[in-house]
Amino acid sequence: MRGHEVPLWSGIAAFFGSLLAVGIFDVINPGQAWEYLGALIVAFITAGSVYAKQRLDEAKKAEGTSGDTSTTK
């Protein structure tokens, strides 16, 4: 589990950042439950995407490639 710390924390940060961007913490108007549900769905998708990207970068780094597909350097 030690190798998954960066992707996990990146995903968590993306989750809460997405919630803040959508405005989920504006609890003054509780009648907007559907908007909150939508914000949670977007936050989970964002967090999952960031987590997957970080894991992919780590796998490429462990394999010895930088992920650069260009032929010129």
Using one digit for the tens of pLDDT, what is the confidence trace for 51-70? Answer: 999 889 888 888 886 555 55
Q: What range does the domain containing 49 cover?
A: 2-24+31-61
Contact, 32 vs 42, CB < 8 A?
Answer: no
Classify residue 49: in a domain, yes or no: yes
pLDDT at 4 > cutoff 80: no
The total domain count for the chain is 1
DSSP-assigned letter for residue 70: -
Give pLDDT, residue 72: 53
Mean pLDDT for the stretch of residues 38-50: 87
Instruction: Report the distance separating Cα 18 and Cα 36, nearest Å.
Output: 12
Environment class of 40 (CB within 10 Å of its CB; exposed 0-12, middle 13-18, buried 19+) = middle
Residue 1 pLDDT level (bands cut at 50, 70, 90):
very low
Classify residue 44: in a domain, yes or no: yes
Classify residue 69: in a domain, yes or no: no
Q: Find, among 54, 66, 65, the residue nearest to 5 by Cα.
A: 54
Classify residue 73: in a domain, yes or no: no
